[in-house]
Amino acid sequence: MTNAICGCYDEKYSHDDYRYNRIKEQLSISYLNAIASYLGSELQVHGPLIDDDGIDVTIRPPQSRFLDCTNTKPSIDVQMKCTSSPRYDSSGDSMLFNLDRRIFTKMQIESLSPTLLMVLILPEEVDEWISCNDSGLLMQREMLWYSANGCGRTVSDNQKTVNISIPCSNKVTKESVGQMLHKVARMEAIVNEV
């Protein structure tokens, strides 16, 4: 992977440089915030103390939308990630991702507010991450989601990371996030697409 110039930086840095990681983090939050806003929901961004617990943001819809549901205050906790160098399985149907064991274990816990992983995939070329013109603002590529709920996978305390396969069909869209919020309100599990 080559070095690239991004934003206000005059020098070229590698894609995994901390300066780019901060930009990637903000782009992933902005991507999800646009979808949450469209759905009339709030995206609550958490600080470092809660992030240490594996939660970067929480999606909270207006309580009035779900008064007739079992869970009248549905929310989804999200661990946000971003990559400009995704790896895929041999079929190209799943993205391969290494996730911190501690976060994976937390994601397996059944809760009224499930924890999901959402990964923004950006182009390798930094200049293609966003474009802005008279037609509007465009953020390139896509975001995928992953649920460890019900996977039954056991991980060893000796493992630092867990290798997961995120189905490419698990796209984060206004429709998929809306469906997830309805599932949480009906107290149904969010499981990966097959």
DSSP string, 22-42: HHHHHHHHHHHHHHHHHTT-E
Give the range among 29-38, 87-96, 144-153 with minimum mean pLDDT. Answer: 144-153
CA count, 13 A, side-chain hemisphere, 147: 24
Domains of the chain by residue range? 18-185
Inform me whether the pLDDT recorded for 51 exceeds 90. Answer: no
pLDDT at residue 72, rounded to an integer: 76
Q: For 102-111, write each residue's pLDDT tens digit.
A: 999 889 888 8
- pLDDT band for position 32 (cuts 50, 70, 90): very high
Find where tokens 């465009």 sit: 138
pLDDT at residue 66, rounded to an integer: 74
> Measured between alpha carbons, how far is 121 from 168 in angstroms, rounded to an integer?
11
Token pair for 2: 């080559």
Give the range among 49-63, 78-92, 152-166 with minimum mean pLDDT. Answer: 49-63
Token pair for 26: 């903000």
- Contacts within 8 Å (CB) and 24+ apart, 2-11: 4/125, 4/126, 4/127, 5/126, 6/126, 6/127, 6/129
CA trace torsion 63, 57, 127, 94 (10° rounding)? -90
Inform me whether the pLDDT recorded for 10 exceeds 80. Answer: no
Helix (H) or strand (E) holding 132: strand 130-133
What is the reported pTM?
Answer: 0.87
The sign of the CA dihedral 102, 104, 105, 109 is: positive
CATH topology of domain 18-185: Trna Endonuclease; Chain: A, domain 1 (3.40.1350)
| φ/ψ of residue 77, rounded to 5 | -85, 145
